[in-house]
């Protein structure tokens, strides 16, 4: 009790509170800009904490990293563009809600779920402080492998109305995750001589392309975010809050999922989001199906991703093993302040540890309240013409993706993945299943090899392993039974010819991957070959199905008449046109970025494309362009200096 | 359509007039990018950020020094970039791992990498100890027992220095232990040791053992690498158990992968004048007590500047060694 009071007294000193507020507000800003995220903010702030005492330093750092997953909901819901990788699952139901005129409700649900989830995660962290070391010492690598295998079984819930496609999408995600240097064997897997690919496909760029670009194409096709021109009201926001309160136990369960999985090193925030989303999908409750704007699809990931921070602190504090990427940076701050993770954090430095719990809880409350305050004006954006919004979002996405490596390949990768995302969206290949496979693959592979090398096959009798495998088998089995029972039911399907082409391409890719993986050493080829083999079999089955539908095409549903099912939300006959327009816009923004630099590109692109799309007057377009350029300058030059490559035009002119 | 193109053209002109002159350039001497070959967090990242705080004041014009993380391949990715696409005017410098210089000779997969193309600004710290530790519960206290014992040592990847040392110890001593790879870092190795999944590893430093939770649970059996002056100077060295001169030289080559810690490099083609400016600035910074005070927060780091010229000469001499010794070194880590 004394420790709690001491921590409270330390935390409530005015300067430390100021640091907490500063961190929280900065975290909210960082979360809202697609492509940057918590690590960016922490890397910015860690050096600034040299002069601060540890309480103020961790108030600033944890305040910031705790709330990026609160504000990242704003672009996810409004635009379908995840603010950070922690908001990707929120896109799937949050954005359809905004399209339906329920942006305020989605925000109300998301922020209140973030608040309760974040506080519940902090509480679980507080309760686990005395047990965290024994718990971490009890868990072994087979348990971590079983957790990741259980996580992958959630793909059954994400597989959508065409389960073969869902499973194939997950296998494609697994396969692409193996691109890069295999850290264990030290060999290159499908890097094609490109240094850019050594670290694999960048997660931020992948998710921006896979989810962001296709949703923007849809937005261009529709003309505005919201299909009905209704003004958002505070009543909508309160309804969302009531939705969260009505799903209280879902929030608590998902926050525990977030905290517990957050405590396992290697389980990233994206995996936690999808696992909690899949958990919620098992019981969709009232309202539309998951994928079409079910509010529980927003509540689940939002409560889990805010709770994760508390969990990730457990191995960080107890053993110095970072529970997440931001925690690796936090360990750097530990060193700066002379703190050594381990037993001392629970004895000598216990008040500081408890103050971290308070910081996470307080930041989550403050962040959610600030966001709720802005809900109504933000929700009004849903009525703004697409021609005004899309140029702004495209330029932030392009700059956000590019600033990761400052490499033109970032832009090409974004475009390539965007094209894949558009095809998957149109043809009912669930991107969520792909995302889950991608984020779980490294953990699955690494923990399997550790487990096998250390324990042989004896680990299969561990109680936790057995329990998790049984839960995975039951969950997946139930889903398979549902698929079997509904197999003959008439449902709307995409046009057969594009399906035929896409599955044919995937089949070729899978066979090529399988054959080329044969040249890798045994431990580097096992998982890629398994993924490629299963993908090839599934792609072949889908190819044959599509071929049969193409043969009987006179009776098939045409793409123009589609309404979609589950996560599937095709734009139909407008898809190609809108996708081409968006590709041209993204290409123009990329070219301008390289040609004239980030600030001039933001101005020129927003001004030019807003006028070209005919959505606003010169004056409005000019104001929008000025605002974009100033914002880019503020974030990428004032907040943190970045070494942008010299613009090509400047080089050519010899300036 | 014509109208739209005209609008684009006007927008472009307005934008260029307003903003092009204000764009920040990496090639401006007012800004130096210090690229670190590891992810944010961790010792290398922290050293880079400390150096970024101090180096600029010793460079002409006192440029701002900013840190950019370019992780990949144990910093080999950054070294490759420094050989290719980075500007050689001093606006881009790098911090790489201590074993990068020997990578192409030990790992044929990176044979196209030419370390001699890099320019070294200097290294900042002395070699830390790399100790083979084994859980006390196994009762292994001597090298003989270490050689005969049937247990598991852990390492990160098979191209990590920790694996090199464990593998060299196993082969040079003809030991029976197994090596398990795929751990993510030293903290994860220690956690696996504490929960009994592995018996130890060959990458422990003196500061790790100062922590009671680890130090009290392990025996230090062998020194795989480390400086002459060390609190563990009385622990037997691996090289002392090897009679064959060539094999001994191969082990010493592997020891050299830890010898120069925190190596700062400039891109290929950097002129002698620019190198002199960078090396002088690093020497001046290394003599600054404020820099030393900041570095003191990193437990176990023994500051010792090796100037770039000296470092370059030393690394060249090592790479000129007998090819048979490299072949033996490769056998030791296979």
Instruction: Report the pLDDT value the prediction gives residue B26, as an integer from 0 to 100.
Output: 37
Instruction: Report the pLDDT value the prediction gives residue A434, as an integer from 0 to 100.
Output: 93
Task: Spell out which residues of chain B touch residue A596, defining contact as CB-CB under 8 Å.
Answer: 15-16, 19-20, 23
State the sign of the Cα–Cα–Cα–Cα dihedral A128, A134, A137, A140: negative
In a domain, B61, yes or no: yes
Listed in order, strand segments (DSSP E) in chain B are 31-36, 64-69, 92-96, 119-125, 130-135, 152-154, 178-180, 200-204, 218-225, 261-266, 303-307
Q: Which of residues 326-385 of A touch B (CB under 8 A)?
A: 327-332, 335-338, 340-343
The tokens for A439 are 């984020």
Are residues A478 and A626 located together in one domain of the fold? no
Cα(B35)–Cα(A132) distance, rounded to whole angstroms?
A: 36
Are residues B78 and B152 located together in one domain of the fold? no
CB atoms A141 and B25 under 8 Å: no
In a domain, B187, yes or no: yes
Written as one string, the DSSP assignment of A178-207 is T-EEETTTTEEES-TT-GGGTT-S-HHHHH
Cα of B61 to nearest chain A Cα, Å:
17
Instruction: Report the pLDDT value the prediction gives residue B249, as an integer from 0 to 100.
Output: 92
> Stretch A367-391: mean pLDDT, rounded?
86
Are residues A424 and A281 located together in one domain of the fold? yes
> Stretch B172-189: mean pLDDT, rounded?
91
Q: Which of residues 183-202 of B touch A (CB under 8 A)?
A: 183-185, 187-188, 190-192, 194-195, 197-198
Cα of A427 to nearest chain B Cα, Å:
32
Assess: ipTM above 0.90.
Answer: no
The domain in which residue A619 lies consists of: 578-653
Q: Which secondary structure element, helix H or strand E, spans residue A448, and what is its range?
A: helix A431-455
Task: Spell out which residues of chain A touch residue B20, defining contact as CB-CB under 8 Å.
Answer: 596-597, 600, 647, 649-650, 655
Phi, psi (rounded to 5 degrees) for A207? -75, -35
Q: Is the CB of residue A607 less than 8 Å away from at least one CB of chain B?
A: yes
Q: Which of residues 34-53 of A touch B (CB under 8 A)?
A: 39, 42-43, 46-47, 50
Are residues B232 and B136 located together in one domain of the fold? yes
Are residues B287 and B218 located together in one domain of the fold? no
Are residues B188 and B280 located together in one domain of the fold? no
A567 has a pLDDT exceeding 80: no
Instruction: Report the pLDDT value the prediction gives residue A247, as an integer from 0 to 100.
Output: 93
Check which CATH number belongs to the domain holding B272 and give it: 3.40.190.150
Are residues B263 and B121 located together in one domain of the fold? yes
Q: Is the CB of residue B161 less than 8 Å away from at least one CB of chain A?
A: no
A596-618 residue pLDDT tens: 999 999 999 999 999 998 878 89
Are residues B250 and B265 located together in one domain of the fold? no
Cα(A90)–Cα(B263) distance, rounded to whole angstroms?
A: 44
Q: Which of residues 54-113 of B touch A (CB under 8 A)?
A: 64, 66-73, 77, 80-81, 84, 91-92, 107, 109
Are residues B208 and B277 located together in one domain of the fold? no
In a domain, B266, yes or no: yes
CB atoms B40 and A188 under 8 Å: no
Are residues A43 and A157 located together in one domain of the fold? yes
Q: Is the CB of residue B23 less than 8 Å away from at least one CB of chain A?
A: yes
Task: Spell out which residues of chain A touch residue B92, defining contact as CB-CB under 8 Å.
Answer: 643
In a domain, B10, yes or no: no
The tokens for B72 are 């990949």
Q: Is the CB of residue B255 less than 8 Å away from at least one CB of chain A?
A: no
Cα of A509 to nearest chain B Cα, Å:
25
In a domain, A256, yes or no: yes
CB atoms B14 and A629 under 8 Å: no
In a domain, A9, yes or no: no
Compare all CA atoms of chain B with the CA of A632 and give the residue at the minimum distance: B23
The structural domain count of chain B equals 2
Cα(B329)–Cα(B334) distance, rounded to whole angstroms?
A: 9
Q: Which of residues 204-243 of B touch A (CB under 8 A)?
A: 211-213
In a domain, B82, yes or no: yes
Q: Is the CB of residue B17 less than 8 Å away from at least one CB of chain A?
A: no
Q: Which of B208, B236, B256 is the last residue of a domain?
A: B256
Q: Which of A495, A527, A547 is the last residue of a domain?
A: A495
Among residues B143, B107, B106, B132, which one has the least CA distance to residue B325? B106
The structural domain count of chain A equals 2
Task: Spell out which residues of chain B touch residue A650, defining contact as CB-CB under 8 Å.
Answer: 20, 23, 25
Compare all CA atoms of chain B with the CA of A629 and give the residue at the minimum distance: B19
Are residues B104 and B71 located together in one domain of the fold? yes
A560 has a pLDDT exceeding 50: no
Check which CATH number belongs to the domain holding B236 and give it: 3.40.190.10
Q: Which of B221, B256, B291 is the last residue of a domain?
A: B256
CB atoms B68 and A629 under 8 Å: no
The pLDDT confidence band at residue B14, using thresholds 50, 70 and 90, is low
Q: Residue written as tokens 């064997």?
A: A185
In a domain, B236, yes or no: yes
In a domain, A425, yes or no: yes
Are residues A107 and A222 located together in one domain of the fold? yes
A345 has a pLDDT exceeding 80: yes
Are residues B98 and B149 located together in one domain of the fold? no
Are residues B172 and B245 located together in one domain of the fold? yes
Are residues A271 and A385 located together in one domain of the fold? yes
Task: Spell out which residues of chain B touch residue A137, defining contact as CB-CB under 8 Å.
Answer: 191, 194-195
Calculate the average pLDDT of chain B.
87
Which of B53, B181, B187 minimises the CB distance to A320?
A: B187
In a domain, A591, yes or no: yes
* Class of residue A384 by CB neighbours under 10 A (exposed 0-12, middle 13-18, buried 19+): middle
**Strand bridging mode B119-125 / B261-266:** antiparallel
Are residues A469 and A597 located together in one domain of the fold? no
| Cα-based distances in Å from A158 to A50, A402, A417, A424 | 45, 30, 20, 14
Among residues A161, A206, A172, A159, which one has the least CA distance to residue A539? A172
Cα of A561 to nearest chain B Cα, Å:
31
Q: How many CB pairs under 8 A join A and B?
A: 205
The domain in which residue B295 lies consists of: 31-125+259-322
Are residues A110 and A252 located together in one domain of the fold? yes
User: DSSP class of residue B65?
Assistant: E
B80-122 residue pLDDT tens: 999 987 888 888 999 999 999 988 888 777 767 888 899 999 9
B3 has a pLDDT exceeding 80: no
Q: List beta partners, residue B36.
A: B69, B95
Q: Which of A471, A495, A519 is the last residue of a domain?
A: A495
In a domain, B112, yes or no: yes
Instruction: Report the pLDDT value the prediction gives residue B23, as an integer from 0 to 100.
Output: 42
Are residues A463 and A600 located together in one domain of the fold? no
Task: Spell out which residues of chain B touch residue A387, defining contact as CB-CB under 8 Å.
Answer: none
**Three-state secondary structure call for residue A404:** coil
Instruction: Report the pLDDT value the prediction gives residue A178, as an integer from 0 to 100.
Output: 96
A63-72 residue pLDDT tens: 998 898 889 8
Are residues A619 and A478 located together in one domain of the fold? no
Which of A327, A453, A650 minimises the CB distance to B23?
A: A650
CB atoms A644 and B190 under 8 Å: no
Instruction: Report the pLDDT value the prediction gives residue A484, as an integer from 0 to 100.
Output: 82
Are residues A291 and A189 located together in one domain of the fold? yes
CB atoms A596 and B156 under 8 Å: no
- A38 or A339: whose pLDDT is higher? A339
Are residues B139 and B211 located together in one domain of the fold? yes
Among residues B44, B124, B112, B106, which one has the least CA distance to residue B80? B112
Instruction: Report the pLDDT value the prediction gives residue B19, as an integer from 0 to 100.
Output: 52
Listed in order, strand segments (DSSP E) in B48-204 are 64-69, 92-96, 119-125, 130-135, 152-154, 178-180, 200-204
Residue A217 contacts residue A578 (beta carbons within 8 Å): yes
In a domain, A553, yes or no: no
A259-284 residue pLDDT tens: 989 888 878 788 899 999 999 988 88
Q: Which of A440, A460, A495 is the last residue of a domain?
A: A495
Are residues B250 and B165 located together in one domain of the fold? yes
Q: Which of residues 266-295 of B touch A (CB under 8 A)?
A: 294
- A311 or A108: whose pLDDT is higher? A108
Cα of B317 to nearest chain A Cα, Å:
27
Are residues A216 and A325 located together in one domain of the fold? yes
Written as one string, the DSSP assignment of B21-42 is GG---TTSTTEEEEEESS-SSH
Among residues A590, A504, A584, A588, which one has the least CA distance to residue A547? A504
Task: Spell out which residues of chain A touch residue B12, defining contact as CB-CB under 8 Å.
Answer: 604, 608
Are residues A220 and A102 located together in one domain of the fold? yes
Report the residue of A643, A654, A655 to disrupt the B interface, i.e. the one with the largest count of B CBs within 10 Å: A643
CB atoms A47 and B31 under 8 Å: no
A151-208 residue pLDDT tens: 888 887 787 778 899 999 999 999 999 999 998 888 899 999 888 999 899 988 998 8
Q: Which of B227, B256, B285 is the last residue of a domain?
A: B256
In a domain, B94, yes or no: yes
The tokens for A3 are 């420790």
CB atoms A47 and B53 under 8 Å: yes
């Amino acid at each position: 009790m004394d420790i709690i009071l001491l921590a409270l007294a330390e935390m409530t000193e005015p300067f430390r509170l100021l640091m907490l507020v500063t961190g929280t507000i900065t975290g909210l800003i960082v979360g809202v800009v697609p492509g940057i995220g918590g690590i960016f903010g922490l890397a910015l702030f860690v050096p600034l904490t040299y002069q601060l005492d540890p309480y103020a330093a961790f108030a600033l750092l944890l305040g910031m990293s705790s709330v990026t997953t609160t504000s990242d909901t704003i672009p996810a819901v409004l635009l379908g563009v995840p603010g950070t990788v922690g908001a990707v699952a929120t896109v799937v139901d949050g954005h359809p809600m905004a399209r339906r005129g329920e942006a305020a409700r989605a925000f109300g649900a998301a922020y209140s779920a973030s608040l309760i989830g974040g506080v519940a995660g902090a509480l679980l962290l507080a309760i686990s402080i005395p047990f965290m070391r024994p718990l971490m010492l009890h868990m072994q690598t087979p348990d971590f492998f079983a957790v990741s295998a259980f996580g992958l079984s959630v793909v059954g819930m994400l597989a959508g109305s065409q389960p073969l496609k869902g499973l194939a999408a997950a296998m494609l995600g697994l396969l692409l995750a193996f691109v890069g240097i295999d850290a264990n064997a030290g060999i290159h897997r499908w890097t094609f001589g490109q240094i850019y690919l050594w670290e694999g496909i960048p997660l931020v760029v992948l998710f921006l392309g896979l989810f962001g670009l296709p949703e923007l194409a849809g937005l261009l096709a529709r003309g505005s975010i919201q299909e009905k021109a209704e003004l958002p009201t505070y009543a909508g926001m309160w309804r969302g809050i009531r939705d969260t309160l009505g799903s209280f136990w879902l929030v608590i369960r998902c926050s525990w999922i977030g905290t517990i999985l957050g405590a396992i090193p290697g389980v990233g925030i994206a995996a936690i989001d999808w696992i909690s989303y899949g958990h919620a999908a098992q019981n969709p409750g009232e309202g539309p199906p998951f994928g079409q704007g079910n509010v529980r699809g927003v509540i689940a990931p939002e409560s889990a991703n805010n709770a994760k921070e508390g969990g990730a602190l457990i191995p960080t504090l107890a053993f110095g093993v970072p529970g997440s990427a931001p925690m690796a940076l936090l360990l750097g701050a530990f060193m700066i302040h002379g703190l050594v993770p381990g037993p001392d954090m629970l004895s000598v430095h216990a008040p500081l540890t408890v103050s971290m719990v308070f910081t996470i809880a307080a930041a989550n409350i403050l962040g959610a309240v600030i966001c709720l305050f802005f809900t109504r004006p933000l929700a009004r954006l849903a009525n703004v013409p697409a021609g005004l919004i899309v140029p702004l979002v495209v330029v932030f996405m392009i700059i956000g993706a590019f600033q990761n490596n400052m490499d033109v390949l970032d832009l090409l990768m974004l475009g390539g993945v965007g094209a894949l995302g558009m095809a998957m969206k149109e043809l009912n290949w669930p991107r969520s299943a792909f995302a889950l496979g991608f984020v779980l693959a490294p953990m699955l592979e690494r923990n399997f090899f550790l487990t096998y090398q250390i324990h042989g096959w004896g680990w299969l009798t561990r109680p936790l392993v057995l329990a998790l495998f049984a839960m995975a088998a039951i969950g997946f089995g139930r889903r398979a039974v549902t698929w079997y029972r509904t197999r003959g039911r008439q449902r709307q399907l995409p046009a057969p010819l594009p399906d035929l082409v896409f599955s044919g391409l995937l089949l070729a890719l899978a066979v090529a991957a399988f054959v080329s993986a044969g040249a890798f050493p045994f431990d580097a080829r096992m998982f890629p070959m398994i993924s490629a083999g299963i993908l090839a079999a599934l792609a072949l089955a889908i190819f044959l199905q599509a071929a049969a539908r193409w043969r009987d095409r006179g009776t098939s549903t045409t793409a123009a008449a589609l309404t979609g099912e589950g996560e599937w939300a095709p734009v139909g006959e407008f898809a190609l046109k809108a996708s081409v327009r968006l590709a041209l816009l993204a290409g123009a923004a990329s070219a301008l970025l390289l040609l004239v630099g980030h600030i001039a590109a933001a101005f020129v692109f927003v001004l030019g494309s807003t006028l070209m799309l005919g959505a606003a007057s010169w004056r409005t377009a000019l104001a929008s362009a000025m605002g974009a350029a100033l914002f880019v300058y503020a974030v990428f030059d004032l907040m943190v200096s970045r070494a942008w490559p010299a613009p090509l035009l400047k080089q050519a002119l010899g300036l | 359509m014509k109208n739209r193109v005209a609008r684009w053209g006007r927008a472009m002109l307005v934008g260029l007039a307003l903003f092009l002159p204000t764009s920040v350039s990496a090639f401006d001497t007012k800004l130096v990018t210090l690229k670190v070959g590891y992810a944010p967090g961790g010792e290398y990242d922290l050293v880079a950020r400390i150096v970024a705080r101090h180096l600029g004041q010793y460079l002409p014009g006192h440029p701002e020094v900013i840190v950019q993380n370019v992780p990949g391949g144990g910093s080999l990715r950054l070294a490759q970039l420094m050989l290719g696409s980075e500007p050689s005017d001093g606006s881009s410098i790098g911090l790489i791992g201590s074993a990068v210089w020997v990578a192409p000779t030990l790992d044929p997969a990176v044979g196209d990498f030419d370390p001699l193309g890099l320019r070294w600004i200097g290294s900042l710290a002395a070699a830390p100890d790399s100790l083979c530790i084994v859980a006390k519960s196994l009762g292994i206290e001597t090298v003989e027992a270490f050689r005969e014992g049937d247990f598991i040592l852990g390492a990160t990847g098979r191209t990590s220095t920790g694996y090199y040392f464990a593998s060299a110890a196993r082969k040079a001593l003809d030991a029976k232990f197994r090596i398990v790879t795929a751990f993510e870092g030293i903290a994860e190795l220690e956690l696996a040791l504490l929960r009994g999944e592995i018996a130890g590893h060959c990458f422990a430093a003196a500061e790790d053992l100062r922590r009671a939770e680890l130090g009290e649970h392990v025996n230090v059996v062998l020194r795989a690498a480390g400086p002459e002056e060390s609190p563990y100077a009385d622990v037997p060295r691996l090289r002392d158990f090897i009679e064959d001169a060539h094999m001994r030289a191969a082990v010493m080559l592997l020891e050299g992968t830890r010898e120069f810690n925190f190596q700062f490099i400039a891109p290929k083609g950097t002129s002698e004048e620019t190198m002199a400016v960078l090396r002088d600035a690093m020497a001046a910074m290394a003599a600054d007590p404020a820099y030393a005070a900041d570095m003191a927060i990193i437990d176990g780091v023994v500051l010792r500047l090796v100037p770039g010229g000296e470092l370059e000469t030393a690394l060249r001499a090592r790479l000129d060694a007998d090819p048979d010794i490299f072949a033996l070194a490769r056998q030791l880590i296979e």
